[in-house]
Amino acid sequence: MSEPQRDAGSRLDRLLAVLSWLAQRGQVSLAELAERFGMTPEQLVADLELAACCGLPPYTPDRLMEIIVGEELVEAQLGAELGRPRRLSAQEGFALAAAARASAAAQGVEPDSPLERALAKLDAALGDRGSVGVELGDPTHLASVRDAFGQGSQLRIDYLSAWRDARSTRVVDPVALAAYGGKWYLDAWCHTAGGTRRFRVDRIVGAEPTGEKAETRPTPETSGEGPFVPGPEATVVRLAVSGESGWLLESVPVLETKQLPDGRTEVTLGVVSTVWLERLLLQLGPSAEVLEPDELKSVGREAAARVLARYSTGDTPPV
């Protein structure tokens, strides 16, 4: 499977973290470095090759980062600046404390856990201003979801879809539990949909373990606003788009992309509304083709025919 689309900001953030850790050690195995930062060896090598082209003015060979990637080892001479522990501003300290509090709430950590001890030190460093509290509320089935996630157990959930105003029963393998915008979300492999889906925990109206262990699934890629994962009602649609439709990758959240032999790009989307897909295909025009699923392959042509019919009768097409 190809690598999910990552924005430049999230890629840079992770690369800086990799370089800082690598600078403190000098040499580490490729497998260990990739595992520590949740990357495949191929992703890691690609990012390190990018970093090897960076350095200090005037960017002559002697001022570039010295990174050697071998078959099994990564060696680096990155200078003291990257290896030195970073000093946080008060604003950064508050942001770190808030994120850590939210993480502690998500995991349900014990009062004397390493995370809580680190938070106590951070609060002390921030002084009286360090009293950071994060309140996210406790949906009815949050405890059951948290237990299943922590124990790697499979869940059977009854879920109320706000989009369709319908209730469905699904068997899911929890992948991640996090909070965005003050709401709890469970990312899980949905056996009904056959892919990773995002469930808002306060819309789960019933949850019970199936007694089966959850299979290990990859964690969705993250970005500055949190990872994009389609909701449970989404249909996975694969499009083939040509070069002039490259704006699609920057304008619409995509699940993954890959290059096709004919030079086009295959783009995978999570689509909830057929109307939305029709409008997207009308914007893309002949530069896009629906590859899957079969029942949506003619959606673009049918939408275009309806628009042309309205013009021919003098009606104004809807915007």
Residue 304 has pLDDT above 90, yes or no: no
Give pLDDT, residue 135. Answer: 57
Give pLDDT, residue 155. Answer: 94
Give pLDDT, residue 80. Answer: 57
For the chain, give the number of residues.
Answer: 319
Residue 231 has pLDDT above 70, yes or no: yes
Residue 154 has pLDDT above 90, yes or no: yes
Q: Give dist(CA 116, CA 174) in Å, integer.
A: 24
Give pLDDT, residue 248. Answer: 75
SS3 107: helix
pTM: 0.47
SS3 170: strand
Which residues lie across from 238 on neighbouring strands?
Answer: 268, 292
DSSP collapsed to 3 states, 176-244: EEEEECCEEEEEEEECCCCEEEEEEHHHEEEEEEEEEECCCCCCCCCCCCCCCCCCCCCEEEEEEECHH
Q: Give dist(CA 198, CA 143) in Å, integer.
A: 17
Kindly report, residue by residue over 25-79, the tens digit of the pLDDT.
888 898 999 888 888 888 888 888 877 777 766 666 666 778 888 888 888 877 6
DSSP collapsed to 3 states, 230-290: CCCCCEEEEEEECHHHCHHHHHCCCCEEEECCCCCEEEEEEECCHHHHHHHHHHHHHHEEE
The H or E element containing residue 80 is helix 80-83
On average, the pLDDT of the chain sits at 78
Q: Give dist(CA 26, CA 10) in Å, integer.
A: 24
Q: Give dist(CA 258, CA 4) in Å, integer.
A: 9
Q: Give dist(CA 171, CA 190) in Å, integer.
A: 6
Give pLDDT, residue 12. Answer: 79
The whole-number average pLDDT for the span 260-279 is 85
Residue 212 has pLDDT above 70, yes or no: yes
**Smallest Cα–Cα separation from 135: which of 167, 98, 160?**
98
Kindly report, residue by residue over 243-259, the tens digit of the pLDDT.
777 777 766 777 788 88
Residue 156 has pLDDT above 90, yes or no: yes
Quick one: CA torsion of 285, 289, 294, 297, rounded to 10 degrees?
20
Residue 165 has pLDDT above 80, yes or no: no
Kindly report, residue by residue over 65-97, the tens digit of the pLDDT.
788 888 888 888 776 555 566 677 777 777 777
Residue 140 has pLDDT above 80, yes or no: yes
Q: Give dist(CA 16, CA 313) in Å, integer.
A: 59
Kindly report, residue by residue over 282-297, the tens digit of the pLDDT.
888 888 899 988 888 8
**Opening angle at CA 134, ends 130 and 139, nearest 5:** 165
